[in-house]
């Protein structure tokens, strides 16, 4: 298991709409994330749009991302979410800035 933290930036004008989408994440997307080893997946959003994501990967961050590549629902979700983010090259999940874990208190 790998603990993963990542950053993205939501456009400030679209924060409320972005939050609404995450109040009703499609069940098919939730199931795909679980199948691909995304556990305890949590998103935190600052008022200026800075988004911090955390999850526990069964294997690794790269393996979790690669697994989602094979999920058709992921393509649809990423296409819907793309307009909400600043400075993307490709899909949102291809722009997650992985953070280095430097401390953990168990």
Delineate the domains of the chain, giving CATH numbers in brackets.
Answer: 2-99 (3.30.70.100)
Task: Specify which residues 3 forms β-bridges with.
Answer: 56
- Classified as helix, coil or strand, 64 is helix
Structure tokens of 7?
């950053």
Q: How far apart are CA 3 and CA 73, in angstroms?
A: 24
What pLDDT digit, counting tens, does each position of 41-94 carry? 999 999 999 999 999 999 999 999 999 999 999 999 999 999 999 988 888 988
Structure tokens of 86?
């600043």
Residues 6+ apart with CB under 8 A from 14: 83, 84
pTM of the model: 0.89
């Amino acid at each position: 298991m790998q603990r993963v933290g990542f950053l993205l930036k939501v456009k400030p004008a679209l924060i409320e709409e972005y939050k609404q989408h995450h109040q009703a994440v499609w069940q098919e997307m939730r199931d795909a994330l679980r199948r691909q080893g995304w556990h305890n997946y949590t998103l935190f959003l600052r008022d200026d749009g800075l988004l911090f994501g955390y999850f526990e990967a069964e294997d690794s961050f790269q393996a979790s991302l690669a697994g989602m590549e094979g999920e058709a629902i992921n393509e649809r979700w990423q296409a819907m979410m793309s307009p909400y983010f600043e400075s993307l090259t490709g899909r949102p999940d291809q722009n997650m800035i992985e953070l280095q874990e430097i401390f953990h208190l168990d």
